[in-house]
Structure 1
Amino acid sequence: MQVISIVQTKGGSGKTTAAMLLASAALDAGRRVTLIDGDVNAQLGRWRDSFELSAWEGVTRPAWPEALTILSPPDTVDGLLGLLEAEEASGTDLVILDTRPGTHADTEDFCLISDLVLIPARPVFAEWEMTHRAVLWMDDLRASIASGERFPEVRVLVIDAGPKIIDAATREGGMAALPKRDQDVLLEILRLDHLDVIVPHSKILEQFGFHGPLGPAAAANACAPGGRLMAGAIKRQLEVARLLLAGIDEVVPR
C-alpha cells in the first residue's frame, strides 16, 4: 500500500486538486483508494457531497465509485497508524493525506508515516516563496531524524501551469516567452527533486467537486447528447492524472 502526504505552507496551492487527480488515476487503474482530509477547509472531505448535490444538466450522474473512501484523520498518531493498518488489511492500494496549510506538528506526523511527500508548486513568482519554504521544512524535518531512520521521498509537482510555462519547461526556446521573474522561479523549481509531469491549468480542475472522479465523469458525459466535447476535455485531464500516477509509481513502487 502506498501512502502519500500532500503538503504546502499556504492554502489554495493545489493540494486538494493533486489528491483528486491521483485518486482519479488510481481508480481508473482498478485500485482501491482512501482519502484522508486533514485540511481545515475540508474541501476534499466534502467532495462526495459536492458531487451528489451538483445539477448535471442533462447528463446522468454516475454512481460514486465504491473503491473510493474519504475519511477524517484520527486525533492521535497511534490512531492514524491503526487506521493505515486497517486500510492495508482491507485491500486499500493507495492512501492520500491532504494536510492543512502551515508548518504544523500534526502534518509532520503525517509525513513521517508516508512513503512520499508531494509538494504542489504553482510556477509563478508570487507562489515561489511558499514552495521554497515547504521544501526547506522537509529538509529540516529530515535533519531531525536519527541517522539510518526511514524518511519519505519528497517531490515537487508543478501544477496549474499555463501554456507558456509548459512551453518553457518542455520546448527549446520557450523560456524566452516568460517574464524574467517567472523564468527564474521555473528554473528554481526544476532544480528541485520534481516529478516530470506538469499539470496544466484547466476549467475541468476548477470544477473537480462537480465532476467527481474523472473516469466516471468522462463516461457519463460521453453517453449524453452533446456531451462529447466535455467528455474529451475530462479524458485529457485523466491522461494527465495517469502520467502523474505513473511518476508516483516510479518514485515509490507499489
Structure 2
Amino acid sequence: MQVITIVQTKGGSGKTTTAMLLGSAALDAGRRVTLIDGDVNAQLGRWRDSFELAAWEAVKKPAWPEALAIMSPPETVEGLLSLLEEEEARGVDLVVIDTRPGTHTDTEDFCLISDLVLIPARPVFAEWEMTHRAVLWMDDLRASIAEGERFPAVRVLVMDAGPKIIDAATREGGLSLLPKRDQDVLMEILRLDHLDVIVPHSKILEQMGFHGPLGPAAAANARAPGGRLVADAITRQLEVARLLLAGVDEVVLD
C-alpha cells in the first residue's frame, strides 16, 4: 500500500485538487483508495457530499465508487498507524493525506509515515517563496531524524499551469516567451526535485466537487445526449491524472 502526503505552507496551492486527481487516476486503474482530509477547510472531506448534492440535469449521475473512501485523520500517531494497518488489511492500495497549511507537528507525523511527500507549486512569483519554504521544512525534518531512519521521497508538483508555462517547461525556446520574473520562478521550481508532470489550468479542476471522480464522470457524460464535449474535457483531465499517478509510482517504486 502506498501512502502519499500532500503539504504546502499556504492555502489555495492545489493540495486538495492533487488528492482528487490521484484518487481519480487510482480508481481508473482499478485500485482501492482512501483519502484522509487533515485540512481545516475539509474540502476533500466534503467531496462526496458536494457530488451527491450537485444537480446534473440531463446527465444521469453515477453512484459514488465503492472503492473510494474519505475519512478524517485520527487524533494520535498511534491511531493513524492503526488506521493504515486496517486499510491495508481490507485491500486498500493507495492512501492520500491532505494536510492543513502551515508547518505543523501533526503534518510532520503524516509525512514521516508516508512513502512520498508532494508539494504542489503554482508557478507564479507570489507563491514561490512559500514553495521554497515547504521544501526547506522537509529538509529540516529529514535532518531531525536519526541517521539511517527511513524518510519519504519529496517531490514538487507544478500545478495550475497556463499554456505559456507548459511551453516554457517542455518546448525548446519556450522559456523566452515568459516575462523575466516568471522565467526565474519556473527555473527555480524546476531546479528542485520535481515530478516530470505539469498539471495544466482547467475549469474541470475548479469543478471537481461537482463532477466527483473523473472516470465515472467522463463515462456518464459520454452516455448522455449532448454530453460528448464535457466528457472529452473530463477525459483530458483524467489523462493528466494518470500521468500524475505514473509519476508517483515511479518515485515510490524506484
The separation in 1 between residues aligned to 2:253 and 2:224, in whole angstroms, is 38
SS of equivalent to 1:25: helix
TM-score if structure 1 supplies the norm length?
0.99
Match of 1:15 in 2: 15
SS of equivalent to 2:185: helix
Match of 1:86 in 2: 86
Q: CA RMSD in A?
A: 0.7
1:128-167 superposed matches below 5 A: 128-167=128-167
Alpha-carbon deviations, 1:44-79, whole Å to 9, x = none?
000000000000021000110000000000000000
The separation in 2 between residues aligned to 1:188 and 1:89, in whole angstroms, is 41
Match of 1:202 in 2: 202
Match of 2:183 in 1: 183
For 1:139, the aligned partner's letter is D
Q: Percent identity?
A: 87
Deviation at 1:176, TM superposition (A): 1.1
Q: Which blocks of at least 5 consecutive residues in structure 1 are unaligned?
A: none
The separation in 1 between residues aligned to 2:193 and 2:34, in whole angstroms, is 26
SS of equivalent to 1:61: coil
SS of equivalent to 2:95: strand
Deviation at 1:177, TM superposition (A): 1.2
Alpha-carbon deviations, 1:163-198, whole Å to 9, x = none?
000000001111111111110010000000000010
For 1:227, the aligned partner's letter is G
Deviation at 1:253, TM superposition (A): 1.9
Moved more, 37-46 or 57-66: 57-66
1:60-71 superposed matches below 5 A: 60-71=60-71
For 1:154, the aligned partner's letter is V
The separation in 2 between residues aligned to 1:121 and 1:247, in whole angstroms, is 16
1:122 aligns with 2:157: no
The separation in 2 between residues aligned to 1:197 and 1:38, in whole angstroms, is 25
Match of 1:57 in 2: 57
The separation in 2 between residues aligned to 1:178 and 1:42, in whole angstroms, is 35
The separation in 1 between residues aligned to 2:177 and 2:60, in whole angstroms, is 43
For 1:138, the aligned partner's letter is M
Match of 1:31 in 2: 31
Alpha-carbon deviations, 1:9-48, whole Å to 9, x = none?
0000000000000000000000000000000000000000
SS of equivalent to 1:147: coil
For 1:156, the aligned partner's letter is V
For 1:70, the aligned partner's letter is I
Deviation at 1:116, TM superposition (A): 0.3
Count of residues in Structure 1 that have an aligned counterpart in Structure 2:
254
Deviation at 1:112, TM superposition (A): 0.2
